[in-house]
Structure 1
């Protein structure tokens, strides 16, 4: 086996471990099978991504190759009979397509479907995955409630890496945080993370989102049915609750009509934060979830500089905040962190919670019991 194929196989095997760990045995089995295919000499990466020049298992992970192909197989399965026999045979195994849920031999069927729809496959895997994980709102919403409690002001949100903008409607969801609830119980989208703590978020806080803006380097218009199919394809096929939440959020988006601006996070932040004056008695809040690590280091540095500059310009009448759900260094699970600037250039940063990457399990501490952090900077170093 060549060094390239060995690196590819190792990278896909690592993704298989994550799929199994995060509760998707069907996806894990497919990733195991894909790793075996690569180890046995089938370089399907070269067929559909001839431009990819990575050399290590780390490169495979950084460029999320496994999720590109896993999502493509799911998209073809979701297309089913409309795409022909190969896709229909694939769909017969997918739980999300009312299939039998048996993963045995499915990757071989996926390779056949890729070959039968080569142009579709090449176009699909060229774009990096954008997983619109609606349940992550369950980690961000308590942070917004804390911010509302602390500032007693309406909030203007600026979301980075918003993808299809489904979290632009997060205040239309209904939340259950252990024995506490927030939102409209009649909402089609219910978010109920496993609440691994007795600490309640401040659900009594008066939260008003006065304005909302969002950006993404490759935004998705969720109102386009073809794009909605692609968003569905990135959700793992045996995770029915995730798919159900996604469908509910897509339904809400038809009313919210989210606008996601096409821009790199660093340039966009410099423009929207530096180009407009703060509104008195309103707090501006940059927020994002599981996207920072996918930006190049220079983009991260520039985005961070724009955030800090805006924070240092904050006043008591116009505070500034940064709310995130991201892996902080090598800590697992992920962390919910809130930084607030309220004048004199000073920043108060605290860890509000530990969270499952999908937001399905949260160990909440809150602001008052949160762990203070010396610097607001998000530093990510991975093994």
Structure 2
């Protein structure tokens, strides 16, 4: 039932975004009563949970606000200079839903859930530093390997510039201190390597079924609309990441993960560490594509050489509690050395993060 999927999404953001939670609970009630929300969501009645129709609904409304087409609702949205008043939020949303029913339906039906959260650069940076140091140590290199970074499910490619971000960790800054994107890592602990070492990314590439061109206003609006509007720190983080993307463009190719990965990994590259990376993507991938991706990676791992190593670095939710709860874990595998580590865990948006290196079986 569509209303239940809205309530599922509302529960996810209950402790993090009162505005989105209130909006989705009210919309779920309106759906049950056959109100205007049912007209907006027409055609989505059979959507799967993984397509998160509730968050696509919230995103569509947010986009209208950002485009200046819903001034009566904008007064509740901090991203538009407003301040949430939860007791009147739904009353002010209803006129927007009625006036823009067709536009909202079109946005919901054409939108794929994409956050491309740039905060995940923080664990990625530490994970890459760890991978380059370990791979060099295995072969006795005095300097770390340069990196070829391949991201599956890259969306707008905002996490393909880990070497161009300024990472604040306590009183220290690592990475590119002059970057327009300064990220407070909110780390507990540190990766067990020298973070002052400069990462050398010699090649970067990404793929996505629905890539977002962040060089366009439409692309920037698309990603911005998925930020929960009362999380201003995420909004500002995204703005900074988009500014960096303008200075350092990295195109994202439209392709399925397995097809693209097979082409990228067809030949090992000597004197380069190839890193396959993905973050909070796995739940959106079909079982068939998951199996195919694992097989392609296993084949490439079998062909990896000490001087042409391969790494898998992922930040994904994993079941970690007896009550069935999940935590977001950073996991690293290196071939041909066979090193397999759980580097730590953190919030789904990448910050805060706790470093705690343990074997990963």
Distance in 1 between the 2:344 and 2:172 partners? 16
Q: Matched residue pairs, number? A: 348
The structure 1 residue matched to 2:51, chosen from 60, 63, 76, is 63
Distance in 1 between the 2:91 and 2:207 partners? 37
Counterpart in 1 of 2:64?
A: 76
Distance in 2 between the 1:121 and 1:39 partners? 19
The answer on 1:372 being equivalent to 2:359 is: yes
The answer on 1:146 being equivalent to 2:136 is: no
In structure 2, relative to structure 1, the CA distance for the partners of 1:303 and 1:108 (3 Å cut) is: farther
Counterpart in 1 of 2:105?
A: 122
1:192-227: per-residue Cα shift (whole Å, max 9, x none)?
A: 132223666530334211100000000011111122
- Unaligned residue ranges in structure 1 (runs of 5+): 375-383
Q: Contact 2:37–2:97 at 8 Å: present in 1 too?
A: no
The answer on 1:216 being equivalent to 2:199 is: no
Q: Report deviation, 1:371.
A: 2.0
Distance in 2 between the 1:29 and 1:201 partners? 44
The answer on 1:299 being equivalent to 2:289 is: yes
Counterpart in 2 of 1:10?
A: 4
Counterpart in 1 of 2:141?
A: none
Q: Contact 1:134–1:167 at 8 Å: present in 2 too?
A: yes
Distance in 2 between the 1:13 and 1:26 partners? 14
CA RMSD of aligned residues (A): 1.9
Alignment partner of 1:144: what SS?
helix
Q: Report deviation, 1:148.
A: 1.5
Distance in 1 between the 2:131 and 2:71 partners? 49
The structure 1 residue matched to 2:263, chosen from 271, 288, 292, is 271
Q: Report deviation, 1:113.
A: 2.1
Q: Contact 1:49–1:125 at 8 Å: present in 2 too?
A: no
Q: Report deviation, 1:284.
A: 0.6
Q: How does the TM-score come out when normalised to structure 1?
A: 0.85
In structure 2, relative to structure 1, the CA distance for the partners of 1:121 and 1:337 (3 Å cut) is: same
Q: How does the TM-score come out when normalised to structure 2?
A: 0.90
- Unaligned residue ranges in structure 2 (runs of 5+): 136-143
Q: Contact 1:159–1:214 at 8 Å: present in 2 too?
A: yes
The structure 2 residue matched to 1:251, chosen from 237, 243, 260, is 243
1:78-119: per-residue Cα shift (whole Å, max 9, x none)?
A: 112xx3xxx111112111111122133323433432342334
Distance in 2 between the 1:166 and 1:71 partners? 19
Counterpart in 2 of 1:155?
A: 147
In structure 2, relative to structure 1, the CA distance for the partners of 1:129 and 1:149 (3 Å cut) is: same
Q: Which residues in structure 2 correspond to 1:1-383 (within 5 Å)? A: 4=1, 8-21=2-15, 23-42=16-35, 44-45=37-38, 47-50=40-43, 52-54=45-47, 59=48, 61-80=49-68, 83=69, 87-126=70-109, 127-151=111-135, 152-197=144-189, 202-274=194-266, 277-330=267-320, 332-342=326-336, 347-365=338-356, 370-374=357-361
Q: Contact 1:335–1:351 at 8 Å: present in 2 too?
A: yes
Q: Report deviation, 1:44.
A: 2.7
Q: Report deviation, 1:306.
A: 1.1
Distance in 2 between the 1:169 and 1:198 partners? 20
